[in-house]
Amino acid sequence: MSELIKIHLSEDEIPRQWYNLAADFEKPMPPPVDPEGNPIGPDALAPVFPMNLIEQEMSQERWIDIPEEVLGILKIWRPTPLYRARRLEEALGTPAKIYYKNEGVSPPGSHKPNTAVAQAYFNREFGITRLTTETGAGQWGSALSFACKLIGIQCKVFMVRISFDQKPFRKMMMRVWGGECVPSPNMDTQVGRSILEKDPDTPGSLGIAISEALEEAVPDPKARYSLGSVLNHVMLHQTIIGLEAQKQMEKLGENPDVIIGCAGGGSNFAGLSFPFICDKIHGKDIRIVATEPAACPTLTKAKYRYDSGDVAMMTPLLPMHSLGHTYVPPPIHAGGLRYHGMAPMVSHAMNEGLIEAEAIHQLECYEGALQWAHTEGFIPAPETSHAIAQAIREARRAKEEGKERVILMNWSGHGLMDLTAYEAYLNGELSDHDLPDEMLERYAASMDGLPMP
Residues near a second copy (CB under 8 A) are 1-2, 4-6, 8, 10-11, 68-69, 71-73, 75-77, 87, 105, 107, 109, 146, 149-150, 168-169, 172-173, 175-178, 370, 373-379, 416-417, 419-420, 422-423, 426
Do β-strands 97-102 and 82-84 pair in parallel, antiparallel, or remain unpaired? antiparallel
Do β-strands 180-184 and 223-225 pair in parallel, antiparallel, or remain unpaired? unpaired
- CB-based contact 170:136 (threshold 8 Å): no
- Give me the least distance between CB of 107 and a second copy, in Å please: 4
Residue number, 14 or 440, with CB nearest to a second copy: 14
Cβ neighbourhood burial of 166 (10 Å; 0-12, 13-18, 19+): exposed
Residues 6+ apart with CB under 8 A from 193: 185, 187
Coil vs helix vs strand at 120: helix
Coil vs helix vs strand at 7: strand
Residue number, 248 or 315, with CB nearest to a second copy: 248
DSSP 295: T
Residue number, 305 or 414, with CB nearest to a second copy: 414
382 upstream amide cis, omega within 30 of 0: no
Residue number, 191 or 379, with CB nearest to a second copy: 379
- Give me the least distance between CB of 391 and a second copy, in Å please: 17
Angle between helical axes of 419-426 and 362-375 (0-180°, round to 10): 110
- Give me the least distance between CB of 163 and a second copy, in Å please: 15
Residue number, 146 or 304, with CB nearest to a second copy: 146
- Give me the least distance between CB of 419 and a second copy, in Å please: 4
CA 245 from centroid of its chain's CA atoms: 18
296 CB-side CA count, 13 A: 30
The residues with which 292 forms a beta bridge, in sequence order, are: 359
Residue number, 8 or 442, with CB nearest to a second copy: 8
- Give me the least distance between CB of 416 and a second copy, in Å please: 5
